[in-house]
Amino acid sequence: MKIVRAKDYKDMSRKAANIISAQIIMKANCVLGLATGSTPIGAYEQLVEWYNKGDLDFSEVTTINLDEYKGISRDNDQSYYYFMNEKLFDRVNINKKNTYLPDGMEPDSEIACRKYNDIIHSIGGVDLQLLGLGHNGHIGFNEPGIAFEKETHCVNLSSRTIKANMRFFADEKDVPRQAYTMGIKTIMSAHKILVVVSGEDKAEILKNAFFGPITPSVPASVLQLHNDVTVVADEAALKELDA
């Protein structure tokens, strides 16, 4: 595992965007595994800026996202579909037909997960998987548990995650309780993994995840077993490691 130190959020975003753009330049038709949440927003903004300058071409890129809320329609501004279009897909020359997210409006979890697994298998492997890190160590929506779930599955979000998501919804009752997420086996199958971490509130979990025991109670800890993981973290998030 490589830890890349960034000064602050802006620096972290730029460094992460550099790694993503290097992947696109090295392999124009690469498959990017993408994440939502607040941490990658700056990296997406940077990619858009470089695209506008003519430095990046997304025309052959395929993307596959980690997760989507269950029961939220694609035109809801809290859906991850909406997020990805707003932050990246609508702003670059990607072919939308090559961008995938789980279908949050499929009420039958078994069908939704099977369909997403089929897509994952058909696109033939992720070159670079971008991940954020949840406060409880979740990656995608693989919440702490007693086992690592392998492929796409429906999860009941933990009370901590629901609370963290509350800031985006007008009313607590509107916060989704379930989500479809890629499994740990799929995430671990990516050739390269890039984790972005920012802020002091992530310092403790960053230390536990990457230097603590490997356990499903801290899902991100499994990344210690992957042989090409780069963590780009800012100084605030690295505080516990420096202590």
**Residues of this chain that bind ligand F6R (CB under 6 A):** 35-39, 66-67, 132-134, 138-141
State yes or no: is 98 an active-site residue: no
Q: In which residue are the tokens 């050739």 written?
A: 191
Burial of 177 (0-12, 13-18, 19+ CB in 10 A): middle
Catalytic residue among 65, 106, 127, 136: 136
CB of 53 to ligand F6R, least distance (A): 26
Q: Which residue of the chain is nearest ligand F6R when measured via CB? A: 132
The residue (of 134 and 176) whose beta carbon lies closer to ligand F6R is: 134
State yes or no: is 143 an active-site residue: yes
CB atoms under 10 Å from CB of 204, counted, come to 14
CB of 64 to ligand F6R, least distance (A): 12
The residue (of 139 and 194) whose beta carbon lies closer to ligand F6R is: 139
CB of 85 to ligand F6R, least distance (A): 14
- 231 Cβ contact partners less than 8 Å away, ≥ 6 residues apart: 1, 2, 3, 4, 195, 197, 206, 210
State yes or no: is 136 an active-site residue: yes
Angle at 106 between CA 160 and CA 184, to 5 degrees: 50
CB of 108 to ligand F6R, least distance (A): 22
The residue (of 29 and 38) whose beta carbon lies closer to ligand F6R is: 38
CA–CA dist 62, 43 (Å, integer): 17
| Secondary structure class of 91 (helix, strand, coil) | helix
Catalytic residue among 68, 103, 106, 143: 143
CB of 120 to ligand F6R, least distance (A): 15
The residue (of 66 and 154) whose beta carbon lies closer to ligand F6R is: 66
The residue (of 94 and 205) whose beta carbon lies closer to ligand F6R is: 205
State yes or no: is 135 an active-site residue: no
Catalytic residue among 65, 103, 117, 138: 138
CA–CA dist 228, 230 (Å, integer): 7
Q: Are 151 and 117 in contact (CB under 8 A)?
A: yes
Closest CA to 40 of 100, 129, 119: 129
Instruction: Tell me the catalytic residues.
Output: 67, 136, 138, 143
